[in-house]
Amino acid sequence: MMLQKSKVDLDNNNRARLALIDPRQLTRMSLLALLTAASPGTRRLSDFTIMPYANPNEFVSDYLERPWSVGMIVLNIGAASVCEDDIHNAILRLRHELPDIPIVILSDDDELCNVLTAFRNGVRGYILSSFDPPKVIQALRLVVSGGTFIPDSTLEEIAEKTAGLFKEDSHDYAPIGAAVFDSFTPRQMEVLQLLREGKSNKFIAYELGMKECTVKTHVRKIMSKLKATNRTHAVFLLSQMTNEKN
């Protein structure tokens, strides 16, 4: 895990100031209570002073009107995806207006493509809502101290997919059964055809009138049915089956 230098801004009690952004009042207040509660097994308060906001615009406006010291921004997106326009634009605006403040995403979604998209957009941490509270607090401590937090499951999936690249050279792939091919939905078949032509997710989304995130979901399900390690592997398996049918 790579550490990056970051300035830690503290309040008068030596606690990092954290801007918590969540449009849902219930989860926002629940996280506020969690992060300001006494640390497990101790009587001291949490490391963080929480400033809750309903949306990024509210936070940015408040900050620009009366700047205050903030060490980190936590954006809780719930079941939404970082690929959705409003989430994507929120991250970009925060990065543009406050480039020196690390951003952490709190999400229900552990899809590899979405986690990687978040980091490509400049976030410094991606925390899953399935984590237990002590792990969430440890992850936030890591980011506010200058680190980058990536879920273990993401690192394991990257390692598996990377290992799969080395298997391609052997071309030792099991043939696809007809039942697998027949299990694809009509929409997946449309995606398959464009996938075989080497089209990008963005092109497929445009061609079929879908969101790019929806295309990624179809591609992921296709690869799962084919037991493919990556897109290249999937196309190879499909070509192999077509040749066998001919």
Q: How many Å is the maximal CA-CA distance in the chain?
A: 74
**Does the pTM of the predicted model rise above 0.85?**
no
Structure tokens at 80: 């939404």
pLDDT digits (tens, 9 = 90+) for 96-106: 888 889 999 99
Q: What CATH number should be reported for the domain holding residue 138?
A: 3.40.50.2300
pLDDT at 178: 61
pLDDT at 216: 87
Structure tokens at 188: 């997946």
pLDDT at 167: 52
CA distance 153 to 163: 15
Tell me whether residue 6 is in a domain: no
Please name every residue paired with 227 in a beta bridge, in sequence order, or none if there are none.
Answer: none
Q: Sheet containing 72-78: which strands, arranged edge to edge?
A: 48-53, 16-21, 72-78, 103-107, 125-128
The domain in which residue 203 lies consists of 173-245
pLDDT at 162: 66
Q: What CATH number should be reported for the domain holding residue 226?
A: 1.10.10.10
**Helices 186-196 and 212-226, axial angle in degrees (round to 10):** 90
Residue 135 shares a structural domain with residue 184: no
Residue 103 shares a structural domain with residue 193: no
Q: Which residues of the chain have pLDDT under 70?
A: 1-15, 37-47, 67, 162-178, 181, 198, 239-246
Which residue do the tokens 């009042």 mark? 25
Residue 178 shares a structural domain with residue 118: no
Residue 60 shares a structural domain with residue 142: yes
Structural domain count, the chain: 2
Give the helix ranges, DSSP H, for the chain.
Answer: 25-36, 56-65, 85-97, 112-120, 133-144, 152-167, 178-182, 186-196, 201-208, 212-226, 231-245
pLDDT at 46: 59
